[in-house]
Amino acid sequence: MKKIGKNKQSFDLYELTESECKNLFAKQQACLKNTYPHKGKGGYSSAVMTVLGHIYEGASYESDTQSLTMHGEAVAFTHANLHGESEVIAITGPNCHICKQLIWESSLRSKIDIIVVIREEGKIKQIPISDLMPYPWPEIK
């Protein structure tokens, strides 16, 4: 991973190597077995990479109320934070819109334009969260 400059809001912008992207996906896939209560037979997982290059996974934890369900992304952010690492530079995607908001807010706090890493038609794409939030709330002041 390397810093490749600043975005238009002057947030740091990073790029992962293909190998780092594949490692992020591998950790995310391996974490699917930890979804609750499905144990791999449902639910979602995610993985984040921090500015130190460490990867933390998260698995969804469902509630019958649905509104109390924790998405894999939120759990991955929490997992990183429990290790004292709140500066995330990349996360696996695609993500639901609730999680895009969470990623966006983390980006605002860290001043890092978090990269959403997705697979599309067999290719890996790295998309800055700012590109996925055309009319964001809160706005950047």
Using the minimum distance from each CB to Zn ion, give the nearer residue, 30 or 96: 96
Host H or E run for residue 49:
strand 45-50
Using CB under 5 A as the binding rule, whether residue 27 contacts Zn ion is answered as: no
> Which of 52, 72, 48, 46 minimizes the C-alpha distance to 61?
72
Residues 90-109 interacting with Zn ion (rule: CB under 5 A): 96, 98-99
Residue 128 beta carbon to Zn ion: minimum distance, rounded to whole angstroms: 18
- CB atoms under 10 Å from CB of 94, counted, come to 13
Token pair in block for residue 129: 């969260």
Using CB under 5 A as the binding rule, whether residue 48 contacts Zn ion is answered as: no
Using the minimum distance from each CB to Zn ion, give the nearer residue, 13 or 58: 58
Residue 115 to residue 14: CA distance in whole angstroms: 7
Using the minimum distance from each CB to Zn ion, give the nearer residue, 4 or 96: 96
Residues within the interface to Zn ion (CB under 5 A)? 71, 96, 98-99
